[in-house]
Every structure is written in structure tokens, then in C-alpha cells.
Structure 1
Amino acid sequence: MIKLSELPKYIEVIKYLNEKEIDIEGISYDSRRVKEGDLFVCIKGYKTDGHRYIPQAIENGAKAIIVEDIQDIFEIPQIQVKDSRKALSALSAIFYDYPSKDMKVIGITGTNGKTSTSFLANSILENHRLKTGLIGTIMVKYGDYLNPSILTTPESLDLQKYFYQMKKENVSHAIMEVSSSALELSRVADVDYDIVAFNNISREHIDVHGSFDEYFKVKSSLIKNVKENGWAVLNLDCPYSSSLINKTKGNVLTYGIKDKNGDLSIRDLDLSTGRGKFTVELSKSLIVGKTEYKPQNFRIELGVPGYHSIYNSLVAISIGLLCEVPISTIQEALSSFTGVERRFQFIYDEDFKIVDDHFANVGNIDVTMETLSLMDYSNIHLVYAIRGNRGVITNSENAETIAKWAKKLGIKGIIATKSISHVMEKDRVSNDEVRVFKEIMDREGITVYLYNELPHAIDHALTNVSSGDIILLAGCQGMDYGAQIALEALYKLRPDLNKEKLLGPLKNRIAGIA
């Protein structure tokens, strides 16, 4: 509980109307969730404006409001601020007594790999018997609590509440994905980070930020603002990530696959099975707390497939070292971790392989197809869910990248789908998005087998697959149900298969289960 009169100590107030001494029982930015005694914070969003819902908030019990625009018709206390999102973040941290300061918080940003890296790092910390919390695209998890996520990074009030609940559960290490929207909209402005990582950056979400330069500026703020005794983990193979080495107040740990000058690098890479095996070289002594890691080499065998998984694992290894986890524990955790749903996930690996991948953007497509190029296979059957409601430019860029790799990998035909019955209205594929995809494939001489429905596209692949082949289920929202459809269809074709084992990859799935 905090007193209304104390708020000007913590936030920059422009004007204060109808001053009263009130105890704030709670905070809300959603008028529907306001309870008696709450402070209602009016947020201006992309689609709506919280100021419109002040009457509903008052009806539900709000005793005071934070506004950007003064509302003269209301008699309850109003505190006017320049940026209500920043105010919400600051007040949320105060209300829950800065819970992130009582645990080691690890923030991971980048266009691609945030989710997989978070899960890999979490596996390492859990194997070291640390009590962890996880906040990201797929779920929020700590103790016995597990809930599917709505946002990659929750709104500041929800985020601080999660930290508060983690603190009560004695969580010592919290790992979170940090989206560019969360950084720009001040959702994480009052989080006390101990370790931050910048994986990579490519053209994504530019429609939100206006330009690539602005997108990078927002992303890089996580690294630039880390505290002096914190750590920044940076990728030397990404010029944007490596450009931040001298622009952070914190300590820096670098890694690379192609660039061998990092604190961590690799050699002797083997990706023939799809699952990476390689030697990590720690080039210099690393002292963290009471632990010293001397320069050394150690072998890693990943349980999760994908070329991109090597990059993600190097970040996870860095996080493990910075959390004083023994190298033997890191090795064991990475070999036993079998992956994150829809991140180059092997959902069938017998006479042929079925790979399920979140084929979101050019960066995702490049690393996925590069992994396939390093694997042993006979033919690749690419089932691609065209990305709906992303416009002609994004779909053009994706199509160009797919076509480039199709030629390299000998793919002469692509099975495409609009997934009409398996996407919501907001992800519906437009005629223009289909047109630009087909135009690029036609230009490159690649045959397109276009289906309206996802099951029909997957059936096409299953009826043409042979031993030694790979079926790649590729796409975002339109392919979320692909794994379930593919495995259930495969069982109908092959009832001799062990059904429980076959459907095992669907167990505990968050997305794409009917």
C-alpha cells in the first residue's frame, strides 16, 4: 500500500487536481479490473485510449487517476503526467517494493532466438538446482505456476507482480525475453537487470518503430542501460550487437561462431544429424563472484537441433558461467534439453524427419535453411504457411529468401497454405500477400502447390515423403496447428506406429493444440 500524496516523490507530476490523502489499495490500467481503492492509470495505446474508460474505472471503485490529459468533469484526484506508461512502470515497482532487486534478473533481446535461448539458459540453471522463473513468448513459469503468455514481455504492472510472486516463491534467478515494444513502451523501465544479452537483429517490427535505425536504437537500450556491475553478452557475428561493446556501462562477455576473437568461440562443428556437436573455447580467465573459470576447451553436444541453436547455446553457456554454474552441469543440461515447441523442433525422427519451425522472418528462414543445408537428407518437402496480415513487403522479403534457399537445397516445389480455418481474423492471408509470394516463386521457376487449408497442404507432403526425406512445417500463426495435424495424419497412414510415442511431442504444448 502507498499513499497518494507520496506519488510526486517517484514520478514527474505536471499538475495535481482535487488533492486528497488516500491510501492506494492497488493499481490498474484496465478499467474492467479496477477494484475498490485502486489507482487507475490511463494508458494511450495504439488502438484505444485509457482516458475513455475513466467512468467505468470510477464505477468499479477507482479513488484516483493518473492521466496525460486532464479531465475536468471528474471530482476524484487526478495526477497529470507526461508519459503514463513510464508512470505506471515506476509506480508498479514501488507498489511491489522493487522485487527484481531481490533476485538475479537475466534479460534477453534480439529479433530471433529469444525464446529458445531463454529455455536453454533456464535448463542450465535448473540443472544447477537453482529456483528459476521464466517470462516470455510462450509462457510465464515459476514454482507450480504456468500460464500461456499474451505478450512476449508483460505490461509493467503485470511484470512487477510476477517478480513479486517469484520473490514469495524464493526464486533466485528470473529469465525474461525483452521485446522491442516492451523497451519502447517502458514496460521494463524499472527492472533491475544483472545480465542482458543482445542475440541479433534483422528487419522485423519496423512498422511499429518507424525505421530500422529506430528499431535498433530501442533494442540496444537494454545493453546501454545495464548497471555498472552487470554483464552484457554480445554476438560478434552480428555487427549491430558487436557495435555495443564500448557503449555499455556493464562488463562485456562476447561470443562468435564465425568470428573467433570472442571470449567464447567454437571449433570442430558437426551438424550432420541436425543436432550440433562442437568444442567451445574459453579464451581468457573469467572471474564471477567466488568462481574463476580458467582458459579452457570443453565439448558440447546439443539435444536440440538447428544451426541457430549453436548461437542460442553460446548465449545460454555465457549466462550459465555468469551465474557460476559448473561447466559439467552446463554440458549435461544442454545435452538433455530437447527443445522449445516450434523452434526447429523434431516432432518425428524415424524413417524420415518432420521438423516444426516458427518461420517468422528473413533471419529465421536463413538460419533454418542453413541448418538443413548441413544435414544429411534425400529430399526436402517444404510446407509453408504464408504469413497473414504482415503486408506485401514482409511477404516479399520472406518469399525472396525462401526462393534463394530453395535453389541451393534443390527444392523445386513448395507446398503453400493460407490456413484459412486455423488463423484468427487478425492473421488472415490477403490476396496481395498470396500474389506477391506466387509472383516471386514463378519468377524463380519454383512450382507452388497452394492450398486454402492447412491439413490439405500437410497431406500433400505426407503422401509424397520417402525414407531419408525431411518435411519442414514452416510458418508463424498459420502453422501453429501443423504438428498436431501432421502427427495425427501420420498415425492414420501408419497405424502400426506406437501412438503414445508418436504424439509425445504434443505433450505439454502451449500453442496449436485443438
Structure 2
Amino acid sequence: MTIQELLHELQTELESYQLYGKEDTPIYGIEDDSRNVKEGYVFVAIQGYSRDGHDYIDEALQNGACAIIVDKEVPSYSVPYFNVKNSRKALGVISKSFYHSPSKDKMLIGITGTNGKTTTSYLLKQVIEANGQSCSLIGTTQNIINGEVSPSINTTPNSLGLNKLLTESNDQVVIMEVSSHALTQYRVEGMEFDYALFTNLSQDHLDYHASMEEYFEAKSMLFGMLKENGKAVVNIDDGWGEQLAHNLQSKVSLYTIGKDEQSDFRMNPKSMSPPSLEVQAGSHTITISPELKGLYNMYNVTMAFATAQLIGIDPDTIKKSLEAFAGVEGRFQVYKQQGGATAVIDYAHTPDAIFHCLTTVREQGARNIIHVFGFRGDRDPTKRASMLSTSSELSDSYILTFDNLNTVSSNNMKDTLLHLQNEHGNEKGTVIPDRTLAIKQALEWAGEEDWVVITGKGNEKYQQEYELQTSSDPDTVSLLTKA
């Protein structure tokens, strides 16, 4: 790519521009982090939530930037300057061009929804690999490219990171979790999907989206990014999914899943303990006995089955692979305790996810349920009372504790927990701010056939230091189990 080609790519996004020097000057890279800029790179200044890239233009120039892209007025510089309508979108536009549209060369599967994205992505990955195809995964817990695992910072990387990952990947298929933030922030700008999946929608991220309707519209954007022959797979048992399917009719190649008789892939859960599921597609019915527990996972299994069959994978291969799937770390991860109690760690962090998690535990025969959970600082406060109400109704006792504090002080979060318990809790609940001590107390309370359910973080690392020198919920439970 040259400066002239960059100008051409940005034509529809430009507010103004100024060229200096030769238009055939080559571009050797793109960066939105001034620290990573090298000689001959384009620097894209993006206004973030805590930092503004426009404040780091001088650093980028010192590091060798040959052009800058901005979306606000800045002083004149002696390098080509492009003022665009939105820097985030411009980053996606030029990243796609610089890396030669890598999504076109892959089978790209995008999964969106509030809950179930991670489990569905891993289910699909296992099925696809059982079919002899190599598969990359980009998601909440980690990224897996060419068999190599790396940590993920966001559920969906930005457009530059995505194009880099797709270019690096030698895998035939790429499965990607796509968040509403990614869709509205142009992180998937220029991506072209072969399959777009919708799991469900429930209250979450209303600190970012103004309403559930806006949240739904953000998720719906994924289905406008399908390739010409792309397919949409939508759960129509979910009310928002039903609305999405209605909106997509006659616009895309649409397939539906659910217990609804009109579903293209009709699911019929036969039993929850042990799990058994019938999936009917046309005149064919297949019975699957997965290890995964809970009705919500039956939807994940059905979604994976439907997508795999649309890809063209043999149903028997799909069945065997789904039945062999052992789960995802941090998603309903079970630990047997001395004395006959059971601990389960789950990522559930919405009222709906907590409902399904606790319901599943009860279905497994729990005598008493002790629930340990908290709320993230700086995140949607409107769901907190509902989360607490769900726990107080379905558990026998609960402990409110810290989750990620983010920028909220520990004293303020402790006050928040006490206020929520006083206003919306009941006699079943107590507050223990230190997460490791809350888990320790819950395990000490638990007797034979009782279940301790720890939700909110899954296998994520702790951001705070606690009294027990552990790094995550699995680490804490493992330590206390050994003790």
C-alpha cells in the first residue's frame, strides 16, 4: 500500500486531507498504539475511554509515522494528514485493504448473543476438527491460532488485530465471538462471515447501550456482514431471536433452532439428568447425549449441531463429537469436595445466566445451594437488583462479594454490596467483600450433597489481591479442596 492507495481507500470516510511529499511513498504497517509505530507506519489516532490517541501523535511521528489519521482537529504536521468521520471505522477500512481482505480466504463463523457464545464456539471447534479441518478460535477466554494459544484482552479484538490474526492463521475455519461493543465500535469492520449465529439476548451492558432495543440493534449488525451465500442461524425460542428472524426473512439464508415447531432444527430435551437431547431436521431425528448439563447448554449443543450440519459435516460425526465434549474451563466447571459437597464455577454474570446456572444445579440434585457472586465496578448497575433477586429466590443462602472493581474503590464497592443487601436482599444473604474468604466460608458451610456455586468470573484472573494468595476462582477452590 502507498499513500495514494491509502487516500483512495479513505475517500468515502474523509472530511479533509493534506498530502505532503510523494504519493507513491510505501506504507509498511498500521498502528493505533503510538508505542508500536515504526518507520513508514500509518498512525491512526482513536479517542478511547481513558486515553485519546490524538494526544500521542507527536510520539508516533518521533517513532517514524509516515502518515496520520484523525477524527478531530489537530495542528498541521509535515506528513500526510487524513481527517475522517470516524477513526475506528477508518482503521477497519485500511486494515482490510492492507492485509488483502483475509476474511475472504477463510470460512468465518461469527457468534453473537448475551450468553452461550464461548461454549458454542468451543463445541463447534471440536466438531469441525473432528471432521478433519483445522480451526482457529477468537474469543473471550483465549485466542487459538494455528494451534497456539494466546490470552485475549477483549471478547473481540479491534479491526487491526483481527486482520493480523486472520492473516497469521493457516487454519481453514475461524470461529469468532462477536460482542455488541465490537459491532458498534467497528472492530469487525470489513469482516465477511460465512455463518452468523445468534444465541439469545438478555439484560447486560446497559451501562453502554441506552436500552435493550439499542443492544439488540447492535447485535443485529452482525447479520449484515454475511457473504453473498452466507447463512444465519438464530434461536427463535428467545424473544429477541424471534424478532431477529422476522427481520431477516427474505434478506438472508435463514435457519432457526428451538423447541418451537416452526424451527428448522427442532430441539426436544428428553432429560436433564443425565442430559439427553433429540434434534429434528426435516424428516431426520438424531439423539445426542452430551456431557454438558442444563437446558441452556442444550441450546448451545443444538446451535452447534445445526451449524455443523449446514457446513456439510456428517451427522454421526457431529453426534460423536458433541457427546465427547467435556466443557470449557470456567463454564460450569465442577469440583467434588471432601465430605460430599460439590463446588461449581461459572462465568454467569447476568440475571438470566444466573437463573439457568442455579436451576441446573438444582436439577443435579443439590440439597442446598450456596451462591457466591458480586458485581463489576463501572459496569451495568441496572442488572444488580435482578441478579440478587434471582439468587435469593433460587439459592438457599448467598454471599455477596467482590468481582472486578475496575476504577471503583473497595470501600465504595463494599458500601454498594451492603446497600443492595439491605434494599433488595433477604435473610439468606450476607456480605463478605474478600472473594477468597467468601469462597472459603461457603465451602465450610457446605454439607453432604450441598453445592457451592461461584459465578461471575469463570477462570478469569483476579484483578485484586485477597487474603488467600490465589489468582482465580479455580485456583482458590483447588487450594481449599486440598486443605
Alignment TM-score, normalising by the size of structure 2: 0.91
Q: Which residue of 2 aligns with 1:433?
A: 416
- 2:206–2:382 CA contact under 8 A, matched in 1: no
Shift of 1:425: 4.9
Question: C-alpha separation between the residues in 2 aligned to 1:341 and 1:76?
Answer: 48
Task: Give the equivalent residue in structure 2 for 1:199.
Answer: 199
Amino acid at match of 1:9: H
Partner of 2:478: 487
Which amino acid counterpart does residue 385 of structure 2 have in structure 1? S
Three-state SS of the structure 2 residue aligned to 1:24 is coil
1:279 is aligned to 2:262:
no
Conserved? CA contact 2:371–2:391, under 8 Å: no
Q: List alignment gaps of at least 5 residues for structure 1.
A: 285-294, 493-514
Aligned-pair CA distance for 1:377: 2.5
Counterpart amino acid of 2:85? K
Kindly provide the amino acid, as one letter, of the partner of residue 434 in structure 1: L
Counterpart for residue 498 of structure 1: none
Quick one: which of 437, 452, 458 aligns to 2:433? Answer: 452
Aligned match of 1:7: 6
CA distance in 2, matches of 1:240, 1:268: 22
Counterpart in the other structure of 1:418: 402
Q: Is the 8 A contact 2:337 2:481 kept in 1?
A: no
Q: Compared with structure 1, are the counterparts of its residues 305 and 427 closer, same or farther at alpha carbon in structure 2 (3 Å cutoff)? A: farther
Distance in 1 of aligned mates of 2:409 and 2:201:
23
CA distance in 1, matches of 2:72, 2:146: 41
> Counterpart of 2:402 in structure 1: which amino acid?
K
Aligned-partner SS, 1:186? coil
Instruction: Please give the alpha-carbon distance, in whole angstroms, between the structure 1 residues aligned to 2:247 and 2:230.
Output: 13
Q: Percent identity?
A: 32
Aligned partner (choices 133, 144, 152) of residue 155 of structure 2: 152
Q: Distance in 2 between matches of 1:475 and 1:427?
A: 19
When residues 123 and 309 of structure 1 are mapped into structure 2, their CA distance, relative to the original with a 3 A threshold, is: same
The answer to whether the Cα contact below 8 Å between 1:389 and 1:430 also exists between their aligned partners in 2 is no
**Contact 1:93 / 1:190 at 8 angstroms: preserved in 2?**
yes
**Amino acid across the alignment from 1:414:** Y
Q: Deviations over 1:263-282 (max 9, x none)?
A: 11222521124xx2111111
| TM-aligned CA distance change 1:102 to 1:227, over 3 Å | closer
Q: Secondary structure at the match of 2:43?
A: strand
Post-superposition Cα deviations, 1:182-224, rounded to whole Å, max 9, x if no partner, equal: 1001111201100001111112112212222211111111124
Whether contact under 8 Å (2:192, 2:225) holds in the other structure is: no
CA drift at 1:121 = 0.8
Which residue number corresponds to residue 165 of structure 1? 168
TM-score if structure 1 supplies the norm length?
0.86
Shifted more, 150-159 versus 461-470: the winner is 461-470
Unaligned runs of 5+ residues in structure 2 are 463-470
Q: Is the 8 A contact 1:362 1:401 kept in 2?
A: yes
Provide the C-alpha distance between the structure 1 equivalents of 2:433 and 2:353, rounded to a whole number of angstroms. 24
Name the aligned partner's letter for residue 51 of structure 1.
H
User: Residues 4 and 23 of structure 1 are in contact (CA less than 8 Å); yes or no, is this contact kept in structure 2?
Assistant: yes
Correspondence for 2:347: 358
Kindly indicate whether residue 360 of structure 2 is the aligned counterpart of residue 379 of structure 1: no
Query: What's the offset of the Cα at 1:441?
Result: 5.1
Residue 507 of structure 1 corresponds to: none
- 2-side partners of 1:37 and 1:450: how far apart? 55
The one-letter code sitting in structure 2 at the alignment partner of 1:390 is R
Match of residue 313 from structure 1: 301
Contact 2:405–2:413 (CA under 8 A) maintained in structure 1: no
Partner residue, 1:266: 267
Q: 1:243 to 1:467 in 2, by over 3 A?
A: same
Contact 2:278 2:286 in 1 (8 A): yes
Q: What CA deviation, in whole Å up to 9, does each residue of 1:120-168 have, x standing for no partner?
A: 11111111111100000111102232111001100100100000011xx
